[in-house]
A and B are shown apart, each in its own frame.
Chain A
Amino acid sequence: MKKFKNVESVIAYIDRKNIDTDAIIPKQYLKSVTREGFGETLFDDWRYIDPGKLGDNHSLRKKNPEFFLHNSKYDGAKILLAGDNFGCGSSREHAVWAIMDYGFDVVISTSFADIFYNNCFKNGLLPIVLSQDDFEAISARISDKNNQYAVSLENQLISCIDFEIKFEIDKRRKHVLLEGIDDISETLKLSKKIKNYEDSKFIKTPWIFNG
């Protein structure tokens, strides 16, 4: 996994709560067997007026001009800001792949669904949880002319020229992103412990190993 670097960009704001993973990446794109190419169909149903499917040339489709991603002030945005309970619903990691493939490195909300939140850290996407007050403070500023922000994971800080917000993140999660840690290699360092556990389990609950 790539190491997480500081991000500088405008913040793209979608004023909506409970954005589910079906909305982030609709089912027809889950038929892909790779992790790439989901960015073009991020928020597909909201973003395009006509229906699309896997393999289409999406640049030829009719865009919904009112959709936030088509607002030129959000061009090149790497930071996404959205309402409560972002990423609820299905466990599809394609949602994270789509957000990253589009170009976002950071998602900010007041809360995330558990599975989505976990999936972020497996891919190098930083989900930032803010208090309601901080969320409102930052969302109120988005319409300002100067919507240029920096996110530092090291300092746990979202900042712009005249404003800054600290955010909390647990130490391990932070470390995983900053170092681009491969969880599988880390776990395999404990192989012996896992085998010992299996040995004792084989005596206590042998039926687990049937099948």
Chain B
Amino acid sequence: MKKTLYDKLWEEHHIHTYDNGYSLIYVDKHLIHEVTSPQAFEGLRQANRSIWNKKSIMAVPDHNVPTTMRENGIKDPISKIQVDALNKNCKTNNLLKFDLEDIRQGIVHVVGPEQGIILPGMTVVCGDSHTSTHGALAALAFGIGTSEVEHVLATQCLLQKKSLNMNINIIGEMPEHFYSKDLALLIISKIGTAGGTGHAIEYSGASIRNLSMEARMTLCNMTIEAGATTGLIAVDKKTIDYVENKPYAPKGKDFLQAKKYWENLISDEQATYDKTVNIDIGSAGPMMTWGTSPEMAVNIDGRLPDLDEEQFSSKRQDLLNAFSYMGLKEKQDINSIKLDKIFIGSCTNSRIEDLRIVANIVKNKKVSSNIKSAIIVPGSGLVKEEAEKEGLDKIFTKSGFEWRSPGCSMCLGMNDDKLNEYERCASTSNRNFEGRQGRLSRTHLVSPATAAAAAIYGHFIDIRDII
């Protein structure tokens, strides 16, 4: 029987089958942050249970940490309670944690791969839906709720029903100025935000192989926005080269043993999928979301949709509500959409390659005068350090961007980084839901390149028109 990558990862971690279609799955790596873990630790304490495998855990505060004036600590007393709770829970249990002061601190999904804590073939969970990011390393990775966090702490396992297999096959080569963020938005606009529900998605096609590891992470990250909790890319040389020499990756003889194992983490030829979607990107261009769901995305070249002509999976009333919430009109010229703020960061787009792309576009240019604030939040302290080594921070600040400390920041606006009512933002994050970046905020999801161009022009513009 030919197997998909997902089938292989599943079988390898399968411990027990119940007679009702459920299985017990072993969890290799458990990532923890301050927002979804306190209630889980409290649950353990109340039931007088201990942690099954402390070494499987990596903790880092990221969701509500400040991105400015770190030296003063956390000003917001309520946020501080959460971070203090994480500190206490980690200290009591002797868990690996990267503190705010540690250069390795950052967004949990940036830090994990960067440290080699996430390795191919692992099962990875975290109380955060963007855990799908780690599928880029052929790890079976998905987000879980707080009760499941507690379950994994106590048992190292999860009760799961096997998902169906879905193949998203990309046809054609990546056009110039079309990035993996654009690809993610294109896919979601085609299959809808529930298109992958109940499935594990595998991305395939020659252009996927050509993507860098960081670009793959961006794509897998947004799998959850297509409804699937897991997005996978098979192991190749790039995967193994990426992992080699990472601090927590195996070394020497161990590495060679691991490498041999990892090289099998690919779908068998002729493996069958429950569903296959072919997406041709031959003539694709930069994308942006215009509405309040990630599926409300269009090519940036031209006008906003004409509801009488376009086919969407959302219903008409939802589309009209989205136009109204966003303060936009049908068929509006995209270049006419003026912006208030720019956010470059998040677990989707805050890695060094993203920052290099931005620097290339904004070098020797100024942020437009109508932009009230343009912030760049690196994904980790190490990304920040590397960017500074390359002089990118100087390019950013000279152009008028603020250069911040790492964290989730304006992606979800739990800290001070948020939009005011009716402010419009070009954002490299992953969700444009109503209120996501602040009450009545208006979010447009774009690639770092498009966000950078929008910062300079003060409105959306097709990056291909200016380079």
Residues of A within 8 A of B (CB): 16-18, 20, 22-23, 26-28, 30-31, 33-35, 45, 51, 54-55, 84-85, 88-94, 96, 111, 113-115, 118-119, 122-123, 170-172, 175, 183-184, 186-188, 190-191, 193-194, 197-198, 201, 204-211
B357 within 8 A of A: no
Known: A18-B314, A31-B64. A91 touches B144 (CB 8 A): yes
B82 touches A31 (CB 8 A): yes
CB contacts (< 8 Å) of A170 on chain B: these are 20-21, 161
A193 touches B15 (CB 8 A): yes
Known: A30-B35, A91-B143, A172-B20. A184 touches B150 (CB 8 A): yes
B151 within 8 A of A: yes
**Bound: A211/B413 CA distance, A:** 32
A123 touches B147 (CB 8 A): yes
Query: Which of these, B55, B129, B257, contacts A90 with CB under 8 Å?
Result: B129
B439 touches A51 (CB 8 A): yes
Contact with A along B252-263 (1 / 0, CB 8 A): 001001100100
- Nearest CB on B from A166, distance (A): 20
Query: Which of these, B42, B55, B148, B249, contacts A209 with CB under 8 Å?
Result: B55
* Closest chain B residue, CB of each to CB of A30: B35
* Closest chain B residue, CB of each to CB of A188: B155
Query: Which of these, B20, B81, B147, B250, contacts A210 with CB under 8 Å?
Result: B250
CB contacts (< 8 Å) of A90 on chain B: these are 128-129, 412, 431
- Nearest CB on B from A192, distance (A): 11
Cross-chain pairs A/B with CB under 8 angstroms, 7 sampled: A18-B318, A27-B414, A93-B39, A115-B229, A194-B26, A206-B254, A211-B117
- Nearest CB on B from A151, distance (A): 22
- Nearest CB on A from B158, distance (A): 9
A31-B82, A84-B194, A88-B194 are known contacts; what are 7 more A-B pairs with Cβ within 8 Å?
Answer: A22-B436, A27-B413, A91-B143, A92-B35, A118-B148, A170-B161, A197-B15
B337 within 8 A of A: no
CB contacts (< 8 Å) of B127 on chain A: these are 91, 93
* Closest chain B residue, CB of each to CB of A118: B145
CB contacts (< 8 Å) of A30 on chain B: these are 35-36, 63, 414
- In the A-B complex, the 10 residue pairs with the smallest Cβ-Cβ separation, listed nearest first, are A122-B147, A93-B145, A119-B145, A207-B250, A33-B38, A91-B143, A172-B20, A85-B194, A91-B129, A93-B146
**Bound: A49/B20 CA distance, A:** 47
**Bound: A35/B40 CA distance, A:** 10
**A-facing residues in B200-241 (Cβ within 8 Å):** 224, 227-229
* Closest chain B residue, CB of each to CB of A190: B16
- Nearest CB on A from B39, distance (A): 5
**Bound: A188/B16 CA distance, A:** 12
* Closest chain B residue, CB of each to CB of A116: B145
**Bound: A14/B26 CA distance, A:** 39
**Bound: A191/B414 CA distance, A:** 38
- Nearest CB on A from B42, distance (A): 7
Which of A31, A85, A92, A188 has the most B CB atoms < 10 Å from its CB?
A: A31
**Bound: A194/B96 CA distance, A:** 23
**Bound: A201/B122 CA distance, A:** 12
B435 touches A45 (CB 8 A): yes
CB contacts (< 8 Å) of B440 on chain A: these are 45
CB contacts (< 8 Å) of B52 on chain A: these are 194
- Nearest CB on A from B346, distance (A): 13
A88 touches B227 (CB 8 A): yes
CB contacts (< 8 Å) of B148 on chain A: these are 118-119, 122
B227 touches A114 (CB 8 A): yes
- Nearest CB on B from A89, distance (A): 6
**Bound: A186/B194 CA distance, A:** 31
B82 touches A33 (CB 8 A): yes
B155 touches A172 (CB 8 A): no
B363 within 8 A of A: no
CB contacts (< 8 Å) of A94 on chain B: these are 146
**A-facing residues in B108-143 (Cβ within 8 Å):** 117, 119, 121-122, 127-129, 142-143
B315 within 8 A of A: yes
